[in-house]
Amino acid sequence: IGVGLVGFGLFFVLFGMLLYFDSVLLAFGNILFLSGLVFIIGFRRTFTFFFQRPKLKGTSFFMGGVLIVLMRWPLLGMLLEAYGFITLFRSF
């Protein structure tokens, strides 16, 4: 279930970007992606990953971007999400 949710989330995000940053598709993709991540690794591990002390800057930008997309400012929200995503997963 989790892999399917993450896959659909990525599909909706990419499709929303192809349709000139459609805010509804981007918001739906973000919600599906985050819920799929919770289904894959569990709520506690997801929470500890996002809220580690060194990763708080990336988490705040990523979650702030999701919130901005939900408030229908898709271009600014996706820019914030991209910066937060790069900051979060820089260690990989």
Reported pTM? 0.88
Which residue carries 């989790």 as its tokens? 2
Taking Cα atoms as reference points, which of 10, 2, 4, 50 lies closest to residue 28?
A: 10
In which band, very low, low, confident or very high, does the pLDDT at 92 lie, cut at 50, 70 and 90? confident
Mean pLDDT of the 52-79 span: 95
For the segment 6-55, what is each residue's pLDDT rounded down to a tens digit?
Answer: 999 999 999 999 999 999 999 999 999 999 999 999 999 999 999 999 99
Return the pLDDT at 22. Answer: 93
Kindly report the backbone phi and psi dihedral angles of residue 21, in degrees, each rounded to the nearest multiple of 5, phi listed first.
Answer: 55, 60
For residue 66, name the pLDDT band (cuts at 50, 70, 90): very high
Angle at 30 between CA 67 and CA 39, to 5 degrees: 120
**What is the full DSSP assignment across 23-67?**
HHHHHHHHHHHHHHHHHHH-HHHHHHHHT-GGGHHHHHHHHHHHH
Look at the chain and count its residues. Answer: 92
